[in-house]
Amino acid sequence: MTIKEVASQLGVSASTISRALARPELLSTETRERVLEAVDRLGYQPNLVARALRLQETRLIYVVIPTLSPFFLEVFRGVERGARETGYAALVGHTGRNVQREQLFLDQVASYRGDGVILVTSSDPAALLARRKRMPPVVAALEEIEGLAAPAVRVDHRKGAVDATNHLLALGHRRVAYIGGPEGQVIAGHRREGFHLAMNQAGLDPDGYPYLAVDYAVELGEQAMESLLTLHPPPTAVFAGNDEIAIGAIRAIKRVGLQVGRDISVIGFDDQRLASLYEPPLTTIRVPTEELGYRAILMMVDQLQGRSTEEDIVLPTSLVIRSTTGAPRA
């Protein structure tokens, strides 16, 4: 059922049908009603592909995330909500931190399949985008993208890490270790900087324990913690680069018979759902993931519709104290 078929059924032109749906005030009351009735009766649905071709906009936004994890899912949830509210659809793609896969998505957008891209971190985005021929509008979510003039909706990872570290220090800890996210990742870097900053400020050596950079996975956090436990003296507190690593660390600690929150404190980052569910519930730094995604898509739409979006948006993190941190044993 195309617009022409509806038109010929009614003995009017296709233009009239189009206008009845897009700008009904242009039609006489009588025609408008006849058309709308027929559209309804025949179940006509405009072909979105044809419309996209004509209007040169697909109303589709690509969201590129590194992995399909619950964490990024939260961000996507926000994007999806905002997209729905503004009449867009969101297409999520995960790259598995693989540059080629990332390239693939950008290609698709470059092929006019999407109106814009929301990049939620990226392996090497600046390089990628620079060599794109047709540069689609980009918004960065979660963290700014180095070397790229794209507006960002982000969080101050450095400050969050300072807060986390200070929380441990305020409890009286002096032997604090840091298990960080993957080497080379921007976010992981910032969080580590925050840790350094706070430790230095307290007059402590941030490199008192080896810096272990592991990917965001429970198993890897567990391994890292195991190796820290072999040191003498072991740390009394550990700051983990995210909640999954923290959970891993807790598992390792439990396994050797120590009690988390009493013998060793652990603090995470992100406040994933897992954090509050776990036993014991995890002390962590909350990142407003859903909100991040929501703001990012709104910023994207603003940009697409010609409203200015100069400024980055920085959302606050907050310390959520649960049960895995406490004063060091006397």
Partner DNA sequence: CGGGGCTTTGCAAACCTTTGCAGACAATTA
Partner DNA sequence: TAATTGTCTGCAAAGGTTTGCAAAGCCCCG
List interacting residues with a second copy (CB under 8 A): 1, 43, 45-50, 52-53, 58, 68, 70, 73, 76-77, 80, 89, 91-94, 107-108, 110-113, 133-134, 218, 247, 254, 274, 277-279
Q: Which is nearer to a second copy, 93 or 234 (CB)?
A: 93
Q: Which is nearer to a second copy, 54 or 307 (CB)?
A: 54
**Residue 16 interacts with which of a second copy, DNA, none, CB < 5 to 8 Å by class:** DNA
Q: Which is nearer to a second copy, 49 or 330 (CB)?
A: 49
Q: Is 26 in the site for DNA (CB under 7 A)?
A: yes
Q: Is 31 in the site for DNA (CB under 7 A)?
A: yes
Q: Which is nearer to a second copy, 181 or 221 (CB)?
A: 221
**Residue 21 interacts with which of a second copy, DNA, none, CB < 5 to 8 Å by class:** DNA
Among residues 33, 37, 41, 53, the one that binds DNA under rule CB under 7 A: 53
Q: Is 14 in the site for DNA (CB under 7 A)?
A: yes
Give me the least distance between CB of 30 and a second copy, in Å please: 26
**Residue 89 interacts with which of a second copy, DNA, none, CB < 5 to 8 Å by class:** a second copy
Q: Which is nearer to DNA, 59 or 159 (CB)?
A: 59
Q: Which is nearer to a second copy, 110 or 171 (CB)?
A: 110
Give me the least distance between CB of 20 and DNA, in Å please: 8
Order across the sheet with 237-240: list the strands: 212-213, 176-180, 237-240, 265-267
Binding site for DNA (CB under 7 A): 2-4, 11-19, 21-23, 26-32, 44, 46-47, 50-51, 53-56
